[in-house]
């Protein structure tokens, strides 16, 4: 299969990942998405690791550079119309720390949402 770049790999079984995807689709119609569970993408991009892609968001740029986790956030902030207007907030150490902290908390929520069935303390819908 020939994938259109930029391409974001996401986990369709993760509710938080689905919301993230929906929000990005609303912001930019030029982004393309593929399930990190789709085996074909690993044939096309053998440098990707399936397990790593299921743990962290991955983005393949038009130049075929692979970005992971917070790097994807940096890329999106710099390139998405509307969002790029706020890129100056991340131009200093404090902004980077806030972004990293936010990303870490989102990752913790994502982990909780995927383990919800096994978690006795997690809220039920």
Q: Partners of 7 in the beta sheet?
A: 32, 60
Q: Partners of 60 in the beta sheet?
A: 7, 66
For 20-76, the pLDDT digits (tens) are 898 888 888 889 999 999 999 999 999 999 999 998 899 999 999 999 988 998 888
Q: Which long-range contacts (CB under 8 A, 24 or more apart) does 14-21 make?
A: 14/110, 14/113, 14/114, 15/113, 16/106, 16/109, 16/110, 16/113, 17/57, 17/110, 20/57
If we measure between CA atoms, which residue out of 19, 4, 2 comes closest to residue 109?
A: 19
For 80-95, the pLDDT digits (tens) are 776 666 666 667 777 6
């Amino acid at each position: 299969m020939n994938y259109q770049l930029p391409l974001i790999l996401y986990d369709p079984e993760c509710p938080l990942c689905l919301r993230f995807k929906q929000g990005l689709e609303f912001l930019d119609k030029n982004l393309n998405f593929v399930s990190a569970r789709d085996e074909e993408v690993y044939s096309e991009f053998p440098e990707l690791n399936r397990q790593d892609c299921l743990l962290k968001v991955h983005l393949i740029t038009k130049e075929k550079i692979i970005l992971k986790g917070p790097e994807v956030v940096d890329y999106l902030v710099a390139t998405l119309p509307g969002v790029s207007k706020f890129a100056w907030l991340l131009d200093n150490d404090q902004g980077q720390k806030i972004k990293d902290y936010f990303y870490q908390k989102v990752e913790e929520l994502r982990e909780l949402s995927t383990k919800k069935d096994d978690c006795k303390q997690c809220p039920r819908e």
